[in-house]
Amino acid sequence: MYAHHIFVCTNQKSGVGDDVAKTFKKELKKQDLKKLLSAGKKRKNRVQTTGCLDVCKHCKKGNGAAVVFYPENIWYGDVLPKDVADIVAEHLGEGRPVQRLRLE
């Protein structure tokens, strides 16, 4: 089981979703958050690319990618590679979603 499963939409023509997913993987390693100790067990944070997440206004028709975090069901929109470090640090490191990118 994963601590967090992070889905990144890659359905854009620009390829920004692929760039966002790669940046998430790099930042998880860089910030040492790829694996977490939870309830005495090591649990991974997993980044998964996916097709359409059906929030095209914030993804395919926007500048960035849509991203959803499970198990919390937290959605982000218009995410660019430059936003990923903040999301990893705040959401995964501190447990606080990044409000400026959050979708309701």
pLDDT band for 13, please (50, 70, 90 cuts). confident
Q: Does 64 have pLDDT greater than 60?
A: yes
Q: Report the pLDDT value the prediction gives residue 38, as an integer from 0 to 100.
A: 59
pLDDT band at 41 (very low <50, low <70, confident <90, very high): low
Given a cut of 60, is residue 39 above it in pLDDT?
no
pTM of the model: 0.90
**Bridge partners of 8?**
49, 67
**Average pLDDT of the chain, as a whole number:** 89
